[in-house]
């Protein structure tokens, strides 16, 4: 085995000991403590502020759920108003309910022909 570059201590130690199970358990424990996927379900709603607020405004949160944001994102092209992102975090058992509520909210958006752009991602790769 050849390890090139400056590796983090935990993954490097796991590689040296051939102990992938230890590393996976450690990572999952840390993600549980921080309430990050895959220990929870997450939806990222990104787009124009009005559109994002309309989508998440129709989502009902229960105990243990969290809505983080909106946070402004860097614009890809010059605009008057930068895009925003809202992250909705729910326990694993409520993941299907969150997906259903977001789908229903998007259906309402479509039926009402609401303006703006919006993108909904469940468990986005950058958070895994």
Q: What's this model's pTM, rounded to 2 decimal places?
A: 0.78
Give one word for 48, left, alpha or beta, with left for phi > 0 and alpha for psi -120 to 50: beta
Topology, domain 40-127: Alpha-Beta Plaits (3.30.70)
The domain spans of the chain are: 8-37, 40-127
Q: What would the DSSP string read from start to end of 34-51?
A: HT-TTSEEEEEEEE-HHH
**pLDDT per residue as tens digits for the range 22-51:** 878 888 898 899 988 889 999 999 999 999
**pLDDT per residue as tens digits for the range 89-119:** 999 999 999 999 999 999 999 999 999 999 9
Using an 8 Å Cβ cutoff, are 52 and 114 in contact?
no
């Amino acid at each position: 085995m050849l390890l090139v570059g400056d590796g983090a201590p935990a993954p490097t130690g796991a590689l040296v000991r051939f102990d992938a199970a230890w590393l996976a358990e450690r990572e999952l424990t840390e993600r549980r403590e921080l309430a990050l996927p895959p220990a929870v379900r997450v939806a990222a709603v990104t787009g124009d502020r009005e559109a994002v607020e309309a989508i998440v405004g129709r989502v009902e949160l229960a105990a243990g759920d969290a809505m983080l944001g909106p946070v402004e994102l860097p614009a890809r092209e010059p605009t008057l108003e930068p895009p925003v992102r809202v992250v909705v975090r729910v326990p694993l058992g409520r993941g299907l309910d969150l997906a259903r509520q977001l789908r229903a909210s998007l259906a309402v958006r479509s039926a009402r022909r609401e303006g703006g752009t919006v993108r909904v991602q469940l468990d986005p790769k950058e958070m895994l």
